[in-house]
Amino acid sequence: MRSRTGREGMRGLGTAALAGALAFCLAGAARAVDEPTYVGASTCIACHSDKAEQFKQSMHGKRLPVVKGIDFEKSCETCHGPGSLHAAAAGDRSNPGFATIIDPLKLPPAEQSKFCLNCHKQQEVMYWNIGPHAANGLSCLTCHSVHQGHGPRNLKVENSNEYLAETETCLKCHKTKKLGMNLPSHHPVMEGKMSCASCHNPHGGESGNIRAGSVPELCGKCHAEKLGPFAYEHPPVTENCLNCHDPHGSINDRMLKQALPFLCLQCHKFPHTGTVNNANAYTSSALLLQRGRCVNCHREIHGSDRHMRFIPH
């Protein structure tokens, strides 16, 4: 038979256990009350009707139901999180519930991009986290706007020409490239027939974010006839098109880095053995003018199947 002291001790333990369980339940209930729940976009519209209308007109608003199966009622809280406590705060910033909504613009750049990459997993953006834009503290929201983005890219820049919208976005930061694009010889970027993104992937990549494994491969997408293979290759051409050309623009014909014959003379110091008054032919101004364009004779300068000196027959 248990002693009275033992029975009282057991009752004390039972009481303590019951009190602990009750405290645990109450704490859980308190946490449940503090946890925000989903309320739907109809609730958000009560205060943010302007944002909602902008979103409906954006590409995100139009494509979320089609591509992701997310209807408008769920759209706001897909990115901003459950909004019951925020809505209950009714605009009172001193209310702790007001801050429970997520505002991506107030997050660090890496966290902003993380939101976008939850859905955007296509190959186009696979290099973002190791790309130079991310490394320099930019985020998806630097160039794109979820609510007010225009065109198929949701870019902040508004232009009816998609190429020009992309280019204007890039040139906000890459101002020096704009100078080259307005020089006499240039790709038709400022004319809106292509854009910076035609050659570069702004979301990351190798060797300057170019859309190819190498510069010759990239240039060859439009200039395939220059790639060969040829029986007689021109080494600087097979190595890198940028040895001779500046793709962002030049004052010289065909975007050459230097005018002819000076570009060729960087490698071909003594191209001809003929002399005038015991001096190399090219030291004569008359012959320099006469033979001023190497390509007058060496016309197959990118490579030839006919002659090792790139002279057509």
Q: Tens of pLDDT along 89-128?
A: 999 999 999 999 999 999 999 999 998 999 898 888 999 9
Distance CA 105, CA 50 (A): 18
For residue 92, is it within any domain?
yes
How many whole angstroms from its chain centre is CA 45? 32
Distance CA 190, CA 186 (A): 9
For residue 211, is it within any domain?
no
Is the Cβ–Cβ distance between 218 and 196 less than 8 Å? no
Q: φ, ψ for residue 3 (rounded to 5)?
A: -75, 165
For residue 94, is it within any domain?
yes
For residue 154, is it within any domain?
no
Q: Which residue has better confidence, 276 or 243?
A: 243
For residue 276, is it within any domain?
no
Number of domains in the chain: 1
Distance CA 75, CA 67 (A): 13
For residue 96, is it within any domain?
yes
For residue 215, is it within any domain?
no
pLDDT of 283 reads 52
Which of 57-71, 175-189, 276-290 has the lowest average pLDDT? 276-290
For residue 79, is it within any domain?
yes
Global confidence as pTM: 0.77
Is the Cβ–Cβ distance between 304 and 312 less than 8 Å? yes
Question: What is the domain extent for residue 80?
Answer: 37-102
Token pair in block for residue 270: 């003594």
Task: Pick the closest to residue 246 from 313, 166, 179, 151 (CA basis).
Answer: 179
